[in-house]
Amino acid sequence: MKSIIPLSVVGGLTLALAGCAAPAAYKSRSDLVTDPAACTAKRFEVYFDQDQARLTTAAREAISLTATQLQGCNVTKVQVLGLADARSGTPAANQSLSERRARSVAEALAGAGLPPPAFEVAAAGADGAVVNGVNDPLRRRTEVVIEAAPH
């Protein structure tokens, strides 16, 4: 049952607080807030500007957030796949761009604390960028999959 506790009288109005009875024992924050999914597989994509392999601010934030979420976890595998679209450039140039994108993401992940021995870095160039005759500009990205488990 709720109880109403008068707080004060201001200009003839009574301010009140309605509440429930307090629990017998308070729990600590760590007892109440747990994240059992923190040490599970993570998948995200890092997008790039056209013809660029430089990480954007959003990319750096995504990498940092993921590394923070995985602190204290056993990271067993980090897969990084660089991609490019077929909108411009030769197949060789797109392959090179994909490789640079994958390397920049892998270096940032390692710099954020993920274990480099777990890395598998690959690049696909523009292969597959044209789907049903239409160029897919969303290929200007790097796909990242991280396998992690609790210690």
Tell me: the pLDDT tens digits for 22-76?
A: 445 555 544 444 455 679 999 999 999 888 999 999 999 999 999 999 999 999 9
Percent of the chain whose predicted confidence (pLDDT) is above 90 = 50
Residue 6 falls inside a structural domain? no
Q: What pLDDT score was predicted for residue 32? A: 41
Residue numbers of the domain that contains 54:
36-150
Does the pLDDT at position 135 exceed 90? no
Backbone angles phi, psi at 107, to 5 degrees: -65, -40
Q: Assign residue 122 the CATH number of its domain.
A: 3.30.1330.60
Contact criterion met (CB below 8 Å) for 147 and 41: yes
> Which residue intervals of 6-126 are DSSP H helices?
29-32, 57-69, 91-111
The Cα 52–Cα 50 span in angstroms is 5
Count of domains in the chain?
Answer: 1
92 located within any domain: yes
Confirm whether 118 is domain-assigned: yes
What φ, ψ does residue 99 adopt, rounded to 5°?
Answer: -65, -45
